[in-house]
Amino acid sequence: MARVPTLSYDRGTLLLHPPPKGRGWMEYATWDDRVEKFRIPGINYRQVIEALQQDNTDFIDKAKAFASIELDSQLNLEPYPHQAAALMAWKKAGRQGVI
């Protein structure tokens, strides 16, 4: 029986082992002889997750160390027009990047 690939976090990078059968994740990975595993820059976390999901690859995500939080402001502030435009662009881009 094949082992399930595991994605883990290591010093700013992601380790993926054993390598999954799909190919979508490969453009982000390089082989690291020191640990004998594929290493992926941490900034590519979202793209790798999406590639694995698109390939219908089962995997264990040990790199995910965050949780969603709800933030409710006590102040009712309207953003400036340039801030509203930046927020809209950020949402259209899939909530990626920095505003």
Q: Is the pLDDT of residue 9 over 80?
A: yes
Domain ranges for the chain, please list them. Answer: 6-61
pLDDT of residue 1: 59
CATH level 3 topology of 6-61 = MutS, DNA mismatch repair protein, domain I (3.40.1170)
d(CA 69, CA 31): 35
What pLDDT is recorded for position 15?
96
SS3 category, 70: coil
Pairing of β 6-10 and β 60-61: parallel
CB-based contact 63:9 (threshold 8 Å): yes
The pLDDT value recorded for residue 26 is 86
Tell me, yes or no, if the pTM score tops 0.75: no
- Give the pairing of strands 30-32 and 13-17: unpaired
